[in-house]
Amino acid sequence: MHDNDLPDLPCYLNGEFIRLRDAKVSVMDRGFIFGDGVYEVVPVYAGRPFRFEHHMARLDRSLGELRTALRGLVHYHLGSSVLRTREVMRDLQNL
């Protein structure tokens, strides 16, 4: 697939929104090299994250399975994540 074949959609990568066609992952990225990664989705209804704490707890457990240093930071950043989620949603509307 070529960059021109990709739809003109937003992509959240490394803490910022960019266009999907501009998203690039380094060949030195740990997930690329080792194939490990964690995926969690928090659905949002009427502008409110659904069961946010439940999803963050599951993310924390998944990070624990990978024995990553990020485990525990999920709960530490829970409050700021709610605020960031609102910022992300606003940014998406502005793209």
What string of pLDDT tens digits covers the 95 residues of the chain? 666 788 888 888 877 888 999 999 999 987 888 887 788 888 888 878 899 888 888 887 887 887 765 655 555 555 555 566 667 767 666 65
70 SS3 class: coil
Q: Count CB neighbours of 74 within 10 A.
A: 20
Token pair recorded at residue 91: 């940014």
Q: Give the start-to-end residue ranges of the domains of the chain.
A: 1-36, 38-95
What whole-number distance in Å separates Cα of residue 95 and Cα of residue 92? 5
Using CB atoms within 10 A of its CB, is residue 28 exposed (0-12), middle (13-18) or buried (19+)?
exposed
pTM metric for this prediction: 0.52
Name the token pair of 17. 């929104």
